[in-house]
Structure 1
């Protein structure tokens, strides 16, 4: 077991249930993954939410609740610059993983599958959203454990918090994980005016993948994201790890089942959505084990990366 025993308090995000067209059927391949290195964290079910709801949604104002204002927040976007970027998304010696925006043009519309983030490998991409609010270094510990198992994941960080800990973005990329933009303050993009929308995307974590909060991005949002050098990256499997039942966070077993019971169409070339503040990281060993037993591999970790996520994905 690794150093995952710290107790932390956390916030929770919410995602809308999104309907998708049927996905293509597929075959699968297997991978052997040792899962015991992930350890369990305690969860505080009484913690107030620290991720905003869309404007007009029940229980939210489209802004961060008062509890979040005590966090270290604000400031400039995460740092940029780095000498080792060769344009292929693979870090070279001395590369910090930060470059000036735009990082790379999006793939042509109609070719790029937003639900799969450009994943055509047959493997499954694990993704972790938002921020571990009272334990920022949890991101790095999760990244280290995934790297130790030869797994590459994608982390979509809220820029407002990532800006205060730019070393976390650098460390995750050095560990071989992609780091994407989850907006600056997690506001509902379609509810923003043009200037607000620009700032919410532009001031987020530098890169070329954008995961819109709640997965919502219409034509206007997609067009602006493309102008700023971003591809939209959503998901095929939602673990609903952010949900509460009678005030309790969703359990590891329920999160695990949401991936295990997903359809083959959702798994092959699939993308799994989880969060850094939930029980999802503690469910990862079982999720990976189940996928392997069902004949699926997860994305392979081939070493450090830059902010430029290649298309198709290097899984």
Structure 2
């Protein structure tokens, strides 16, 4: 009963707001027991602890703290996803490999790159892959943007992609996996479908080695959504081995719902 109530509540209100309500309720109750001499120090410490909690959770998209994101497929397939494209050379390399291996994948694209290389996006779509927005400029300060600027940063890319594909593109992955209450508001207001991941390869931090390829293969499970970046030469080099290794474990590759069933 308690579990069902918690699930219902979290479906209506994000975990952030539930935490905020519980925090304020606890603080209001406990204030009556605080020594007046330590009142200010207690308030400052409490706010600091809460701010640290919110900051940490903003970096952990898989906790679904601010918004609901999909981190696994609803099937036994594995989905490869590529962030930060399109890249004028490596996206084509990636598409060639995927075509040769008979694999469909998902590309989360940066708006300014889409404007520069629309032909690459057209090829992605024509070959049956899914696309999603990854913000317009992928700013390091993405987590601190709000208001109209945040709306533009997210929605501009969705609009550009929609113009290329001819249908409303609703899939979105926030840069760095950063989420907060402001991002959650834009996502919910415009009915975007946020896609996270269940397996992060950290391919932008270190190149793929034979050991790393084997580790990723071993960590891959049925339903895994794997995060990659095709702009990295090392990722392109490793991709055929990753695909073969995952298949050798008896798993196949798939996508989210078909394009005409995009979440509303």
Q: Please classify the TM superposition score into its range, dividing by the shorter chain length.
A: 0.5 to 0.7
Which has the higher mean CA deviation after the structures are superposed, 120-129 or 277-286? 277-286
Query: Do the aligned partners of 2:80 and 2:226 also contact (CA within 8 Å) in 1?
Result: yes
CA shift at 1:255, angstroms? 4.2
| Cα distance in 2, alignment partners of residues 131 and 254 from structure 1 | 26
Query: Do the aligned partners of 1:241 and 1:274 also contact (CA within 8 Å) in 2?
Result: yes
Query: Map of 1:265-276 to 2, 5 A cutoff?
Result: 267-276=221-230
Query: Do the aligned partners of 1:154 and 1:179 also contact (CA within 8 Å) in 2?
Result: yes
Residue 198 in 1 paired to residue 160 in 2? no
Normalised to the residue count of structure 1, the TM-score between the two structures is 0.55
Query: Do the aligned partners of 1:123 and 1:268 also contact (CA within 8 Å) in 2?
Result: yes
| Cα distance in 2, alignment partners of residues 113 and 131 from structure 1 | 21
Q: Which runs of 5+ in 1 are unaligned?
A: 1-15, 22-108, 245-249
Q: 1:184 maps to which residue?
A: 136
Query: Do the aligned partners of 1:210 and 1:232 also contact (CA within 8 Å) in 2?
Result: yes
Q: 1:233 maps to which residue?
A: 195
| Cα distance in 2, alignment partners of residues 219 and 228 from structure 1 | 14
Which has the higher mean CA deviation after the structures are superposed, 214-223 or 230-239? 214-223
Count of equivalent residues: 194
For residue 235 of structure 1, give the secondary structure of its aligned residue in structure 2: coil
For residue 76 of structure 2, give the secondary structure of its aligned residue in structure 1: coil
Pairwise CA RMSD: 3.0
CA shift at 1:225, angstroms? 1.7
**Structure with greater helix percent:** 2
From 94, 107, 115, the equivalent of 2:71 is 115
CA shift at 1:191, angstroms? 0.9
Query: Do the aligned partners of 2:110 and 2:133 also contact (CA within 8 Å) in 1?
Result: yes
Q: Which runs of 5+ in 2 are unaligned?
A: 1-57, 162-168
Higher relative contact order, chain-length normalized (CA < 8 Å, sep 6+): 1
CA shift at 1:256, angstroms? 1.4
Normalised to the residue count of structure 2, the TM-score between the two structures is 0.64
Change over 3 Å in CA distance of 1:290–1:309 after alignment to 2: farther
Change over 3 Å in CA distance of 1:258–1:20 after alignment to 2: farther
For residue 70 of structure 2, give the secondary structure of its aligned residue in structure 1: coil
Change over 3 Å in CA distance of 1:208–1:123 after alignment to 2: same
